[in-house]
Each structure stands twice: as structure tokens, then as C-alpha cells.
Chain A
Amino acid sequence: MTDLVTATEAALEGELPGARGELSHGVLNALRAPAGAPLPDPGSAERADPLGDDLQLALYVSYELHYRGFAEVDPAWEWDPALLAVRAAMERRFLHALRDRTAGHPDVHDALDELLVEPVDGTGVSYFLRDEGQLWHLREYAAMRSLYHLKEADPHAWVIPRLHGRAKAAFVAVEFDEFGGGRAERVHARLFADLMADLGLDPSYGRYLDAAPAEMLSNVNLMSLLGLHRAHRGALVGHFATVEVTSSPGSRRLAEAMRRTGAGPAAEHFYAEHVTADAVHEQIVRRDVIGGLLADEPSLASDVAFGIAATTCLEDRLGDRLMAAWQDGSTSLRAPL
């Protein structure tokens, strides 16, 4: 039986981050006390910028309680009614901002068609990294993305009980691949930890939370928001499809960047694996997950399209942040590595 116990217990939880304003300060302070301690008034969410650091960090922290949580934070906070009330106020602001920014988005068929066109002369982060990225850019990129990739595919797992039949079977098949097809060493989160080690980064869970700007937090918060609410199951599927459809060509460019800079075999492998894996996933997601969901619930078509538009909007925002910093020769993180 001793082989069931690992010799060294790696920390599963992250550390609480530093506050970025009044709202996150209030939430973080409360979390250091047992569940039930006084929280900021939900009205304070009304005063914060919906896509800014303060609200996005407070939201990120309240969602993280549903994943691995934080070291020395009372697990009962996860379902604390007062925290859920503050969270709901933040979610309303966040969703409202996303609806504003994606108003007039195309319908689901046009949105998918758009995603499936490869630009002739593409610009953006993956092109920059492929053509002129240096090791420090790749390290910043990986530190930033680690907020998601160290829990890759976890936010999406919440939608499983809300899908049925064809959509569910196909969705779970893709998730099974994301989770390594039954092999711990192939879990995508593990492959990303190996990439981080190649790049000389610390793969501890949550290590780069303090370094990540609002543009990255909002990306992960979108997945958590859509995953945790059954009402947003259509948008979650749209989000998932966007990630899978755009991943293959982007991953090819990132694999080339890793190879050119000599980042290391695991760093290259993470993206090379995503080139072929996601070429499969995108077809299954479009045909069976979206197709199956909309056959069951045709009224969710506009939610799926919103999920695609919101994901694209936040990804573009993150890309703008990265490129603006790098073209200036400065760090894209809140503090350099």
C-alpha cells in the first residue's frame, strides 16, 4: 500500500496574492480569517473598473476557491453566501462589459467560419514570437499563460453534467485527451509544467498570479464564470470551440518559436502536441459538441456565439497588452521575472 503515498507532497494550493485596490484588499483580508468574516459591501464592485486589476483579481480569487484554493484559507469560504453575493456583483459588471464590447457579434455559423480562416499576413503574439521572439518573451508568455495552463481544461469540466447525448460524449472525449488519456505524464497541465521547467520558470501552482495583469486574469475568469453557471453552458461551449479552433495554427507558431530559441524539448513538445491534438478537437467540437448541443437546445445558438465573441475580445485585449509592452522593449507582466 505504500506506493499509494507519494514521497514528497507538492503544494497543491497557491499562495494568496497581493491586493490591487479597495475591492481585492477587502476580499483578501476576509479570506485570511475563518469563513463568515466581514467582506466588502457588494456595492464596492460597482465602483471598480469591470476589466481592471482590482475587480478581476477579487473575482479570480473567489473563483480559485472552487479549484485548488489557497494555502491557509478556510475551505468553507467556497460557499460562503456573503462572498457569493460580492462575486455575483462582480460577475454582473464583468458580463455587462463583455456584452457591451461584443454587441452586434455575428451568429454562430459566421463566427465559426471567421475563426476557420487563416490570415494571409497575420500579426499578433504568436507571429511575433515565431519570427523575432527571444527567450525572455517566451518566459513572460509562459508565466502569463500558466494561470490557465496549470489548470488546463479544468474550467470546462464543469459543463459536463449540463450536456447530453452526442454533445456530452464528444465533449468528454476531448477532455479525456486534455487530461492525458489516462496517463498522468500526458496531462496537458503536466506538459505545461514541464515546459515551464525548460524555460527556467517555477511550475508551482499560482506562482505567477501576482505577476499577471488584468488582461490575463479576465481570460481565466471568463472560463470560470461560464463553467460555474449552468445558465452560461452555451457560451462555455462557444468559448471552448474558440480555443480549440484557433489553437492548432497558433501552437505551430509557438512550437517554432520554442525550437528557434532552443527553449528545450518539453517546451517545444507542449505546443507540438497541441498542433495535432487540437486539429482533431476542433472538428469534434464543431460537429458534435456545438452540433449536438444546438440539436438539443437550438435556443442556445446566440449564447454560443456570445461565448466565441467574448473569448476573442479578451484574447485580443491580452494580445494588445503583450505586443504594446514588447514593442516598447518592456515587460508585459506587472513586474519583470
Chain B
Amino acid sequence: MLVEGPVEVVLDDGTIVRSDRFTVALCTCRRSRTYPWCDTSHRRRGRR
């Protein structure tokens, strides 16, 4: 999900993370290893 930056995100444990990128891709599938930021881990896997 794309949102306009800069953004501050409050994580489940209460910590606040910040990104000042012009647009920020937020992870909504929870698979990201850079959560809460998208790292494209949602991509379909298969044979090219």
C-alpha cells in the first residue's frame, strides 16, 4: 500500500518508526522482512 511520506508508524510494541521518503510502501501482507515497509516479499513465486 502506497502512502504519501513522510510517515510515522506505531508498531505493535509501541515503538515509532519513521520514513521521510516522498512515497512510502507499507507492508499489508506481514511477510516483509523490513516491516512495516514493503520489501516485495508479497510477490508471487513460481517459475519464470
Contacts and interface: CB of A to CB of B under 8 A. Distances in A.
Given A117-B46, A118-B45, A120-B46, A177 B22 contact: yes
Contact of B44 (A117, A252, A275, A280): A117
Contact of B21 (A116, A119, A272, A280): A280
Contacts, number: 64
B23 interface: yes
Contacts of B39: 248, 252, 275-276, 279
Contacts of A279: 25, 37-40
A277 interface: yes
Mostly helix, strand, loop or mixed at chain A's interface? helix
A181 interface: yes
Contact of B40 (A119, A120, A282): A282
Mostly helix, strand, loop or mixed at chain B's interface? loop
A118 B37 CA distance: 19
A118 B47 contact: no
Contacts of B43: 116-118, 249
Contacts of B33: 252
A119 B2 contact: no
A280 B48 contact: no
B35 to A, nearest CB: 11
A248 B2 contact: no
Please indicate which of the listed interface residues B23, B24, B37 has the most CB atoms of chain A within 10 Å of its own CB.
B23
A177 B20 CA distance: 10
Contact of B47 (A120, A249, A277, A278): A120
B34 interface: yes
Given A116-B44, A120-B47, A173 B38 contact: no
Interface in A272-289: 272, 275-280, 282-284
Contact of A283 (B2, B20, B37): B2
Please indicate which of the listed interface residues B19, B23, B40 has the most CB atoms of chain A within 10 Å of its own CB.
B40
Interface of A: 114, 116-120, 173, 176-177, 181, 248-249, 252, 272, 275-280, 282-284
Given A272-B34, A276-B37, A283-B25, 9 more contacts: A117-B43, A117-B44, A119-B48, A176-B22, A248-B39, A249-B43, A275-B34, A279-B38, A280-B25
16 contacts: A117-B43, A118-B43, A119-B48, A173-B22, A173-B23, A252-B39, A275-B39, A275-B40, A276-B19, A278-B40, A279-B38, A280-B24, A280-B25, A282-B40, A283-B25, A284-B2
